[in-house]
Each structure stands twice: as C-alpha cells, then as structure tokens.
C-alpha cells in the first residue's frame, strides 16, 4: 500500500454493489466447497440483510472500497478483502479497527478455509470451540475464535 493510505470508514448504501462483488469473489475462492449456487443465493442476503444491518466498516484505497468487516456487537459476522488486494494488510487493518472499537472480538470461520484460519491465528485469535455443522445445518465444520489483542509483527504480509 506504498503511497496510497488505507482509510476505514462507515458503510454507506452506495457501497452495496462494490462490497457485494468483493464478498462474492472472495467467497468463490475461500468457500468454493459451498458451491457457487449456494454463494449466489447468499449474495442476496449479504446485500439486503447483512451489509445494511450489521455495523459495517469499509476499507478504502484512494476512495475505492477494497474490503469490509461486518460486526454484530463484538462478533465479526464477516470480513472480506478484494482477492487482488489480499496480503497487503487490509484484513489486518480492519481487524485492528474493530478490536479498537470493541476491545474483544469473536468470529466463526470454516475449518476448510485454511488460509483464513491461518490468518486469524497469526492475528492472535484463539480457538474456543468447534462444531461439525454450519448455521444452516450443513456438514461444514466451523471454528469459533476469540481475539483480545493483535500482534502486528506476527501478521505482516498476510491479509484476508
């Protein structure tokens, strides 16, 4: 992110299409095991329910959204970064912003999404529990994690 500074701001309704596209492309890569048809169905929920109703923070480079984090109290409902921008510190910055606001965070991540699991572990998240099914009762193992502080030195070069 050399000379362009990352800015994090509150969600605006005008962000919906761009954030939905970021969510979809990142999910196609990270959650391919769910199947594209299921992801397309979930995209409507992202646009109509999750983005406008969660406490959503948008990461922008040169004014353009490149990622976001959705909070429900201190729970990370989702964090997604444009796949072309992953690894540049955007996910780390979003998590740090959320942690500064909330003091402690919890999240769930699919066990099969190994890059995200590794990313959260490098941030300092601790595994609290696992369950064999996702929220829809499908057989996708989910890991519940908690974050109390971020060790920035351990997470250099990795973004979600």
pTM: 0.87
**What CATH number is attached to the domain comprising 40?**
3.40.630.30
Listed in sequence order, the residues at least 6 apart from 160 whose beta carbon sits closer than 8 Å to its beta carbon are 79, 80, 81, 86, 90, 91, 115, 116, 119
Q: How confident is the model at residue 72, as a pLDDT?
A: 96
Q: Residue 118 half-sphere exposure, CB side, CA atoms within 13 Å?
A: 10
Q: How confident is the model at residue 157, as a pLDDT?
A: 42
Q: How confident is the model at residue 130, as a pLDDT?
A: 97
Q: Structurally, how many domains does the chain consist of?
A: 1
Q: How confident is the model at residue 3, as a pLDDT?
A: 52
d(CA 49, CA 39): 15
Tell me, yes or no, whether 112 lies in a domain. Answer: yes
Cβ pair 150, 92 in contact under 8 A: yes
Going from the first residue of the chain to its last (160 residues), give the mean pLDDT of each consecutive group of 10, the final group possibly shorter. 78 97 96 91 94 96 96 96 94 96 96 94 95 92 87 45
36-45 vs 16-30: helix crossing angle, rounded to 10: 150
Residue span of the structural domain in which 49 resides: 6-155
Tell me, yes or no, whether 25 lies in a domain. Answer: yes
Q: How confident is the model at residue 1, as a pLDDT?
A: 42
Cβ pair 110, 27 in contact under 8 A: no
Q: How confident is the model at residue 96, as a pLDDT?
A: 95
Tell me, yes or no, whether 160 lies in a domain. Answer: no
């Amino acid at each position: 992110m050399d000379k362009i500074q990352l800015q994090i701001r509150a969600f605006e309704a005008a962000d919906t299409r761009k954030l939905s596209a970021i969510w979809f492309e990142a999910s196609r890569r990270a959650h391919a095991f769910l199947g594209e048809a299921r992801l397309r169905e979930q995209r409507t929920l992202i646009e109509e329910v999750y983005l406008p109703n969660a406490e959503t923070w948008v990461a922008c480079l040169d004014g353009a959204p490149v990622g976001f984090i959705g909070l429900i109290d201190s729970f990370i409902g989702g964090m997604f970064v444009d796949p072309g921008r992953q690894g540049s510190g955007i996910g780390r910055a979003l998590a740090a912003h959320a942690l500064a606001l909330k003091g402690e965070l919890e999240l769930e991540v699919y066990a099969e999404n190994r890059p995200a699991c590794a990313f959260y572990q490098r941030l300092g998240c601790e595994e609290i529990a696992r369950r064999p099914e996702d929220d829809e009762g499908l057989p996708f193992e989910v890991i519940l994690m908690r974050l109390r502080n971020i060790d920035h030195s351990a997470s250099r070069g990795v973004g979600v």
